[in-house]
Amino acid sequence: MEREKIKRIVSKHRHEKAAILAILHEIQAEDKQLETESLNYIAQLLKVPVANVYGLATFYSAFSLGRKGDTKIRVCSGISCHINGADEVVEVLKSKFNLEMGETTWDKKFSLEKVQCLGLCSIGPNVAFNMDTYSKLNKEKIEMIIEILHKKTGDSK
Amino acid sequence: MKIKTMGDLDKLREAGLKSLAPKQLKISISMSTCGHALGADILYHELVKQKGKQGLKISIGQTGCSGFCDLEPMALLRLHGRPPLLYTQMTVKKIKRIIEDFEEKRISKEGLLCTIEDPFLSAEPGPEFNEIPSYKEVSPFKDQHRRLLENCGIINPLSVSEYVAMGGYTALYKALYQMDPEVVVDEVIQSGLRGRGGAWFPTGIKWDMARKTHHKEKFVICNADEGDPGAYKDRTIMEGNPFKLFEGIVLAGYAIGSHQGLIYLREEYPHTYEFLNDAVYTAKRYGFLGKNILGSNFNFTLKIIRGGGSYVCGEETALMDSLEGEVGDPRLRPPFPIEKGLWERPTIVNNVETLANIPHIIEHGGESYAGIGTEKAKGTKILSVIGKVKQPGLYEVPLGTNLEHVIFNMAGGPLNGSQIKAVQVGSPFGNFLPGEKLDISLDPETLKTMGSMIGSGVIVVLNQDTCLVDILLHTLSFFVEESCGKCVPCREGVFQMKKIMTAIYEGRSTMEDLTSLHDIGGMIKDFALCALGGGAPSLILNGIRDFKKDFEAHITTGKCPWTS
């Protein structure tokens, strides 16, 4: 992200060190990653050691140093989804996008990751595509959703 | 308009009543995270389109999550002079038929679950309503005692007037004008309310200590980092009735002398984040937050802060680290947050469910609140009953309710007539109770004697088709991923346990591995820094003790008998 933009975000949060998570959230949402230069610049603006900012960016699972896909596919790994067949849904996602957990497609359109619990425990298995969550999934249903998605966004293999 | 007097509040109540008993048919669709996941937004937009196209004389509204997400999308039909009707698992087709039937003065039966009790209904509804079961008679609502969830799924969660019409903000008005802060604290002490986040510490005692600290700046933190897998009660409260939570938070601030509140919300709830911000905006606009609340001298601000996706940040000291812009590292206590909390200021950290109890306590008194529950645990508890049961969902029941009753009579028992193998109460820390030991009282004390815990109220039901080794391995993976890495016993020990458990699951192990699990587990239990690390091994060790057959089956056959 350009320095000017980072500066604007940091100023919006009044250069408060406590707002650093909020700052990182905003940058991550736009860049789909936290670049080293961004982290360095944030540290400089907030007058904190780079190691601190780097520590936060790697500790919290919401942030990532590597580029995530435009569509972040988050599979719920809560106990309820697990019992109700989440593994089967994961296998479909892996093979259809040719991804392992934590990876991003070459064209940066999709990334696949695990999320601890989406809080939809009576309608699992659940998968979130960015802000859209799909529930009561099984092999057939997730295949259908992916097909519709591919039609919308263009193929990604 | 800012509400400054009782008269203003009454006017708002009038507006809410009109909205709850509209002159023309109002169809409200449940639009929480779960509703969205099952197509509520499609339904809503289709309804809006149809209305415009056909000039339908209806209004369209929204409700929140009721706790029974598998019955979504729900639709609530309201019309002045008759009880509201609740429909479940709605589709565009079904909704169209409901409207057609309504125009021909019929009540559509497809998807109709029940009537909702309408406290404001003046006239007797027609005989056609007598045959429809009421909310209190029908599963999954029967036998519940919905004090906290009473409005969830029933009112528009973002309408403060509807909340006021249902009795909201009466408690705050009463406290600000008729009660000194210490009286508020006394009522909470008398109520016997204990922290619902899992630790069950007496809330009133915590508040009393915080009130007595002398500092200009104090904080109220609402812990909404609902991380226990299987729990979604806090999400339901926040999305179903956010003003009730806000009222509880402001009351907490008034009681301890704090003017700043923060809700620390988990990152995995993006819809809830937007939703709460909308609700804060509305509450400010009406003067339920901000300066001179309800025309009094009391000021209180509330901010919603998003977490970063870390389970350990649900632990109160790690949570405060996170709020300060640090990595979430559990600190050794003492000092406790009530002495040195956020930015070293006196701070109380309370769970969403705990705070949602406060308006009831202040409105009706601590003694009345304590009228239900057990000797040591008062009030109701929201249970998240999930897994292999017929009707999963949130069941709010008095503490001390029988577990077997909840699972069999309320949640419909195990799926497809299968047999219950084990039940985990207090996931992910609670131990598994064997299927034949379910005739117990649900309260922290009883569960403790069973070697388990009630925790945040998650009840995972497992039947004969589930492999305990698989479930334990899955839970262990959770602990490995969520270990913050600060102490060696947790970081390395739990990792090693997972390695051994994986070998057992895959059938590459011997009986000696069980001994290794014992040794490592014992070490972690004794030396881990916080409850997260300390809790992981006991689950495995008790699993080996109570479900040894499952382990032996893997070791002797060299595979998982359930999946192969």
Say if residue B447's pLDDT is above 50. Answer: yes
Residues of A in contact with B326 (CB under 8 A): 52, 56
Res B260 pLDDT > 70: yes
pLDDT above 90 as % of chain A: 93
B227 vs A80, A83, A116: nearest CB: A116
Query: What is the nearest CA distance from A108 to chain B, expressed in angstroms?
Result: 22
pLDDT at position A154 is 66
> Hey, of B326, B385, B410, B563, which one would you mutate to test binding to chain A, going by the most A CBs within 10 A of its CB?
B326
Answer whether residue B422 shows pLDDT above 80. yes
Q: Does A105 touch chain B (CB under 8 A)?
A: no
Secondary structure (DSSP) of B13-56: HHHHHHHHS-SS-EEEEE-SHHHHHTTHHHHHHHHHHHHHHHT-
Residues paired with B29 in a beta bridge: B62, B75
Closest by Cβ to A117, choosing from B229, B328, B474:
B229
- Asked if residues B185 and B225 have their Cβ atoms less than 8 Å apart, the reply is no
Average pLDDT, stretch B261-279?
A: 97
Residue whose token pair is 């193929």: A155
According to the model, what pLDDT value does residue B426 have?
A: 87
- Which residues in chain B are closer than 8 Å to A17, comparing Cβ atoms? 324-325
Residue A101 at interface with chain B, using a CB cutoff of 8 Å: no
B168, B417 Cβ separation under 8 angstroms: no
Determine the average pLDDT of the residues in B347-361.
98
Element of type H or E holding B290: none
User: Between chains, do B323 and A135 touch, taking CB under 8 Å as contact?
Assistant: no
**Which of A13, A27, A59 should be substituted to probe chain B, the one whose Cβ sees the most B Cβ atoms within 10 Å?**
A59
Q: CB A121 to CB B269 under 8 A? A: no
pLDDT of A69: 96
The model's confidence at residue A46, banded by pLDDT at 50, 70 and 90, is very high
Which residue is associated with the tokens 């090693």? B496
Question: For the packed helices B468-482 and B548-557, what is the interaxial angle rounded to 10 degrees?
Answer: 100
B477 to chain A: nearest residue by CA? Answer: A77
Best residue in A16, A25, A83 to probe B by mutation, most B CBs within 10 Å? Answer: A83
A60 touches chain B (CB under 8 A): yes
Choose from B33, B420, B476, B505 for mutation: most chain A CBs within 10 A: B33
- What average pLDDT is seen over chain B? 94
The rounded distance, in Å, linking the Cα atoms of B262 and B301 is 8
Answer whether A117 sits within 8 Å of B227, measured CB to CB. Answer: yes
For residue B392, whether the previous peptide bond is cis, meaning omega lies within 30 degrees of 0, is no
Q: Across residues B242-258, what is the average pLDDT?
A: 98
Question: Of B268, B462, B484, which is closest to A117 when you measure between CB atoms?
Answer: B268
Which residues in chain B have their CB less than 8 angstroms from residue A120's CB? 33-34, 37, 69, 232
Percent of the residues in chain B that have a pLDDT greater than 70, as a whole number: 100
Q: Which of B42, B232, B385 is the best residue to mutate to test the A interface, defined by the most A CB atoms within 10 Å of its own CB?
A: B232
Interface check for A21 against chain B (CB to CB < 8 A): the answer is yes
pLDDT at A114 over 90: yes
CA distance A20 to chain B (A): 6
* Residue A157 predicted with pLDDT over 50: no
Radius of gyration of chain A (CA): 18
pLDDT of A97 strictly over 80: yes
Distance CA B128, CA B140 (A): 23
d(CA B528, CA B508): 28
B466 to chain A: which residues are within 8 Å by CB? Answer: 83
pLDDT for residue A149: 87
Q: Is the pLDDT of residue B308 over 50?
A: yes
Residue pair B432/B466 in contact by the 8 Å Cβ criterion: no
At A155 the pLDDT is 56
Whether the link from the prior residue into B119 is cis, omega within 30° of 0, is no
CB B123 within 8 A of CB B79: no
The nearest CA of chain B is from the CA of A64 a distance in Å of 11
Cβ distance of B325 and A21 shorter than 8 Å: yes
Cβ-Cβ contacts under 8 Å, B310 against chain A: 59-61
* Whether B270 and A131 lie within 8 Å, measured CB to CB: yes
Do the Cβ atoms of A61 and B309 come within 8 Å? yes
Q: Do B310 and A60 touch (CB under 8 A)?
A: yes
Work out the pLDDT band at B125, boundaries 50, 70, 90.
Answer: confident
On the question of pLDDT at A156 being above 60, the answer is no
Question: Is A80 in a helix, a strand, or coil?
Answer: helix
Alpha-carbon Rg for chain B, nearest whole angstrom, is 25
The CA distance from B184 to B46, in Å, is 48
Helix/strand/coil for A99: coil
CB contact under 8 A, B322 and A79: no
Question: CA of A135: which chain B residue's CA is closest?
Answer: B37
Q: Specify the DSSP element, H or E, that contains A58.
A: helix A50-59
Q: Using CB atoms, which residue from A22, A55, A123 is nearest to B37? A: A123
**Contact criterion met (CB < 8 Å) for A121 and B230:** yes
- Chain B residues close to A55, C-beta within 8 Å: 327
The verdict on A121 touching B (C-beta cutoff 8 Å) is yes
* Minimum distance, in Å, between the CA of residue A96 and any CA atom of chain B: 22
Is B232–A120 a contact, with Cβ atoms under 8 angstroms apart?
Answer: yes
A133 interfaces chain B, CB cutoff of 8 Å: yes
Per-residue b or e along B408-444, where b marks 16 or more CB atoms closer than 10 Å to that residue's CB: bebbebbeeeeebbbbbbbbbbbbbbebeebebebbb
Say yes or no for a CB contact (<8 Å) between A83 and B387. yes
Confidence of residue B302 (pLDDT cuts 50, 70, 90): very high
Q: Which of B201, B276, B280, B198 is nearest to B238 (CA)?
A: B276
Q: Tell me which residue in A17, A63, A123 faces B69 most closely, judged by beta carbons.
A: A123
Q: Please tell me which of the candidates B70, B269, B388 has its beta carbon nearest to residue A83.
A: B388
Which string of DSSP letters, residue by residue, matches B241-252?
-HHHHHHHHHHH
Contact B309 A60 (CB under 8 A): yes
Please give the pLDDT value at position B482: 86
Cβ contact, residue pair B231, A119, below 8 Å: yes
Long-range own/partner contacts, residues A13-21 (CB < 8 A, 24 or more apart): A15/A45, A15/A46, A16/B325, A17/A46, A17/A48, A17/B324, A17/B325, A18/B323, A18/B324, A18/B325, A19/B325, A20/A46, A20/A48, A20/A53, A20/A56, A20/B325, A21/A56, A21/A60, A21/B305, A21/B306, A21/B307, A21/B308, A21/B322, A21/B325
**Mean pLDDT of all residues in B238-252:** 98
Which residue in A62, A63, A80 is closest to B386 by CB distance?
A80
- Measured between beta carbons, the chain A residues lying within 8 angstroms of B344 are none
User: Which residues are registered as beta bridge partners of B224?
Assistant: B265
Q: What is the mean pLDDT of residues B305-318?
A: 93
Closest residue, chain B, to A117 (C-alpha):
B229
Looking at the complex, does the CB of residue A24 fall below 8 Å from at least one CB of chain B?
Answer: yes
Distance CA(B234)–CA(B272), nearest Å, equals 10
Mean pLDDT of A1-13: 95
Q: Quote the pLDDT of residue B521.
A: 95
Please count the other Cβ atoms lying within 10 Å of the Cβ belonging to residue B543: 25
